[in-house]
Amino acid sequence: MTDPLTGRVLVVDDEVDLAQLIAGYLRKAGLEVVVRHDGTEAVASVRPFAPNVLMLDLGLPGIDGIEVCRQVRTFSDCHVLMRTARDDEVDKIVGLSVGADGYMTKPFSPRVP
């Protein structure tokens, strides 16, 4: 059996069930996980939690994921993975241009590596 992963992941998604599903898979892999459901809470959580990875939905209440990424990039170098139903090329370009390291479109299967 392999050693579990180590690290901290901040999962941000306004879909509560989806956020909890993702968090469950990450915890099972041995990661420490915090879940937030709006953009303002997400930005406020990055400093004290100091995640290695920020899994960020774009469509959030408060401030959207693009603005969350923009603000987080002013004080953190954590990896940012955007998750969204928006799959237009321009959306990906905007997400990556504000500092995201990766872009995943929904729907996706959490079991697919």
CB 55 within 8 A of CB 21: no
- pLDDT by residue for the chain (113 residues), tens only, comes to 444 567 999 999 999 999 999 999 999 999 999 999 999 999 999 999 999 999 999 889 999 999 999 999 999 999 999 987 666 666 666 666 688 888 887 665 555 55
For residues 73 and 86, give the distance between their C-alpha atoms in angstroms, rounded to a whole number: 21
Please name the CATH architecture into which domain 8-103 falls: 3-Layer(aba) Sandwich (3.40)
pTM of the full structure: 0.84
pLDDT score for 20:
96
Containing H/E element for 81? Answer: strand 79-84
Domain boundaries, the chain: 8-103
Q: What is the pLDDT of residue 1?
A: 40
Query: What is the reported pLDDT for 47?
Result: 96
Measured N-to-C along each axis, helices 89-97 and 65-72 cross at an angle, to the nearest 10 degrees, of 20
The total number of residues shown for the chain amounts to 113
Residue 5's alpha-carbon distances to 16, 69, 88, in angstroms, are 24, 24, 32
